[in-house]
Structure 1
Amino acid sequence: MIIILLLLLLLTVWTSLDFIFGRRLHIKQLNVRTYPVRESYINPFTSGPKLFQDYFNELKKAEKHIHVLFYILKDDEISLEFMSILKEKAKEGVEVRLLLDWLGCLKPRRHIKKQFENTGVQLAFSRVPKFPFLFYSFNTRNHRKITVIDGKVGYLGGYNVGKEYINHDKKLNPWRDYHLKIQGEGVQDLQDVFLMDWQSAAKVSIHYHDPYFPPLEKGPYRHQLIPSEGFHLEKTFTKLIRQAEQSILIGTPYFIPGKKVFSELEAALKRGVNLEILVPGTADHPLVKEASYPYLRKLIPQGATIFQYKKGFYHAKILIIDDKVCDIGTANFDKRSFYLNHEINCYTYDKKYIEEVLKILKKDQKNAHVMTQKDLYPLSPWALCKEYTARAVSLFL
């Protein structure tokens, strides 16, 4: 027993020091990229089957290059169809690069590698854990979802590639998410983010090749791409919330904000800002619901309205401030996205676009239950134990 306790103590000390010094190095090496406000055509998708029908059609039309980054790629039917399209395009002479997160594709990684052997598809894995800070690097995931086709068509948002995203998972069916198709000026910034991530993972710099940055026309919607690397996002969200005068609308699968962001939400409520938060009723990961309860429990008495989605699984990531700024992207409203993950979000400033997105969000609120304090209190010792555990590990959920 003494030996076991000593081993646990050593493990705790090692992981703590690993995390502290790994975090310091991470911040020191941050690559903060700031993009200007662009004007593009933006089409939001909220249905997996419709998104992938459009997405696969655009992939098949590629003539020069396809650049894809996903956090998760499975080895099921839709994943095999996706990989088949990439292989066929590479066979046609199209440059195909596929970048996947090392941990997000941990289980099917060997199968994925085998699928692309000798096909012409260039495959790389992002954020591979490495010494000396193994524990910290294991937790800093590339959670971005980016596709750029011929430098002219781009996609980003909450969808990965797998059967659950097209409503073929019994527990999480239907899957509700938001994903954006961008055509116009903004695609060049999406391309820039991908190429930087590709250089980091594949150790190959192809950044300044002209074919990847063709001339692009302007579209009707003013927007700005905001990439983050486990640091910058908290600052931008805090600034947006602080500027809110009338309303803050949040949709997220995981509501686990840090102290700074949560304090700003409380301050907004005190100055009379309407706060509405939409979260899923069904969880796709252990403890994420329990980790949100302490925050939601404090907000309801202060006037916040909490909606719990009931028509399937809600995985969308959205923030709307005063109907003036709308953020849709890959980042969840949680500590992992704020402090660890590499994410990419799209802030849009066009009134007409925001009105359309608001209709989507309000529809999802209608398919939700308004939570009360009674919904947020543990009803058993086991539920209470889960909540305390969730609090302790909330950064890593």
Structure 2
Amino acid sequence: MLMPDFIVLITIVVALIHTLGVLSAIHAVASVRTSQGAIAWAVSLLTFPYLALPLYWILGRNRFHGYIEVLRNGALDQSNRSDIAMILERLRDHPADLPAERAEDLQVLAQLSRTPYTEGNALELLVDGDAAFRAIFAAIESAERYLLIQFFIIKDDDLGRDLHTRLLRKVAAGVSIRVLYDEIGSHALPKCYMETLRAAGIAVSAFRTTRGRRNRLQLNFRNHRKIVVVDGRVAFVGGLNVGEEYLGRGPLGHWRDTHLRVEGPAVQALQRVFTADWYWATRQIPDLEWQSRVAGSQTVLIFATGPADALETCSMFFHQAIVSARRRLWIASPYFVPDPPVFEALQLAALRGVDVRILLPAKPDHQLVYLASFSFLDAADRTGIQIYRYQKGFLHQKVVLVDDEVAAVGTANLDNRSLRLNFEVMAVVVDRGFASQVAAMLAHDFQQSRRTSAADLRSRGWIFRWAVRAARLFDPIL
């Protein structure tokens, strides 16, 4: 007796799903960067492919295809390749004299980033949203030739509309403007916001992490960078996006963040990062000012990282900062889910006597990441890592301080998403005066924080403790 057609169909579908599960498991073993992630995906795909297959092809990969290849291999014409080479050469016209006792540690970061340190920069530390956007808007108003605007999130609220109005006014005055945003981070932005800008003559584009056949389903990647460049002479980078909550006007209350105003050769280095992202999104190289100007005496390295890099450059950045610390290592991040090598480096630094402090928010904006961070408390206590929770409001800054000479401000969090899945950028500053400012800023933050420990976790109810364990299982995609 022949089987009914629907049973035959079901049999074929089940066989196909399991075959795809096996093939995907082989793909995971061959391509997932960490052995833990490869094993977890392979087991899931083999045992329960019905759920694991769509999750793997949407969330499973941490290698972003095409970005580096487009920039380096034939997608750019010869003149554009010459332009990119020329940018690097002009940055090398401002070589930095690194401290002899730190030169070896610091040069590793320059090798990883393929960008030189530059001297001749002037920096201003911008604490919180009011100071940051006051400076950004003042710079926008001063623009004469062009503006480059890049944010992970742009919202159509009072702050977003203020930016919108200013950009329309500047383009009407003859300023060339380019706006780049992340298509997932800014998913709630209404089309009319960007269409109005385009209609006025402003070039607007999403970064398009799903561009290209191999990235079509990859919704897990983000361009998390926040860069503003004005006429090639002033730039901004840091943790703030465009939204009212970044001014402390959202449900989380006071929003503690840090941004950086830059003048000098480092502006061209930030501009180069924007140009690469803009080319990926639009296949266009904008006509920009590449002649850098000396504005001060501070040494800066613009360290851009992302999932298209051949090496795990963001993870290596944190690892190198940690191992180079001799007396003090202070890190402020809203999210704390480090990978094992980075966390072990933190433990070793604390064991060798370094003052290791991690500053985290007491209020969560992403519940899973917040819960997962509690799972590190016991191991932190055993080695002397001090973890603090900021009490005044929500803490969103991304700042690293190493001893008394090196500080970094930018967009990278200490979690797996920044370490492997996001495009990020940090400004690494080698300057005692600037490091002293950052130290004073963070010391004030620690005064408004409470030290936490494993005892705090043990005092919570069993539901919370199990939620912490469950959240840690999502470590690879947090």
TM more than 0.5? yes
Does residue 258 (structure 1) correspond to residue 298 (structure 2)? The answer is: no
Name 1:125's counterpart in structure 2.
Answer: 206
**Alpha-carbon shift at residue 368 of structure 1 (Å):** 0.4
Higher helix share: 2
Q: Which amino acid aligns with 1:320?
A: L
**Alpha-carbon shift at residue 18 of structure 1 (Å):** 6.1
Name 1:392's counterpart in structure 2.
Answer: 473
CA 1:218–1:54: 2 relative to 1, 3 Å: closer
Name 2:177's counterpart in structure 1.
Answer: 96
Name 2:325's counterpart in structure 1.
Answer: 244
How far apart in 1 are the matches of 2:337 and 2:412? 12
Name 1:358's counterpart in structure 2.
Answer: 439
Which is bigger in relative contact order (C-alpha 8 A, separation at least 6)? 1
Gaps of 5+ in 1: none
Superposition pairs of residues 311-322 of structure 1, within 5 angstroms = 311-322=392-403
Name 2:378's counterpart in structure 1.
Answer: 297
Q: Which amino acid aligns with 1:371?
A: T
Q: 1:13 aligns with which of 30, 50, 53?
A: 53
Superposition pairs of residues 336-347 of structure 1, within 5 angstroms = 336-347=417-428
Aligned 8 A contact 1:30 1:229 in 2? no
Aligned 8 A contact 1:242 1:264 in 2? yes
RMSD of the TM alignment (CA)? 2.3
**1:92-145 deviation line (CA, Å, top 9, x unaligned):** 11100000000011011423223324111110001332444444x311100000
Report percent identity of matched pairs.
30
TM-score where L is the length of structure 2? 0.77
Q: 1:174 aligns with which of 247, 251, 254?
A: 254
Gaps of 5+ in 2: 1-9, 18-47, 72-111
How far apart in 1 are the matches of 2:349 and 2:203? 47
Does residue 234 (structure 1) correspond to residue 234 (structure 2)? The answer is: no
Name 2:269's counterpart in structure 1.
Answer: 189
**Alpha-carbon shift at residue 25 of structure 1 (Å):** 4.3
Name 1:221's counterpart in structure 2.
Answer: 298
CA 1:123–1:77: 2 relative to 1, 3 Å: same
**1:198-252 deviation line (CA, Å, top 9, x unaligned):** 010112123xx3x422341141211111000132111122122112222211111
TM-score where L is the length of structure 1? 0.92
Q: 1:160 aligns with which of 235, 241, 247?
A: 241
CA 1:372–1:20: 2 relative to 1, 3 Å: closer
Q: State the SS of the aligned residue for 2:367.
A: coil
Q: Which amino acid aligns with 2:294?
A: E
**Alpha-carbon shift at residue 57 of structure 1 (Å):** 1.3
Q: Which amino acid aligns with 2:179?
A: L
Name 1:79's counterpart in structure 2.
Answer: 160
Q: 1:106 aligns with which of 167, 187, 193?
A: 187
CA 1:347–1:22: 2 relative to 1, 3 Å: closer
How far apart in 1 are the matches of 2:397 and 2:64? 31
CA 1:378–1:29: 2 relative to 1, 3 Å: farther
**Alpha-carbon shift at residue 14 of structure 1 (Å):** 4.3
When Rg is computed on C-alpha atoms for both structures, the one with the higher figure is 2
Aligned 8 A contact 1:281 1:308 in 2? yes
Q: State the SS of the aligned residue for 2:261.
A: strand
**Aligned pair count?**
389
Question: Runs in 1 of length 4+ with deviation above 6 angstroms?
Answer: none
Superposition pairs of residues 31-110 of structure 1, within 5 angstroms = 33-39=113-119, 40-110=121-191
Q: 2:411 aligns with which of 319, 323, 330?
A: 330
Aligned 8 A contact 2:401 2:407 in 1? yes
- Which is further off, 340-349 or 213-222? 213-222
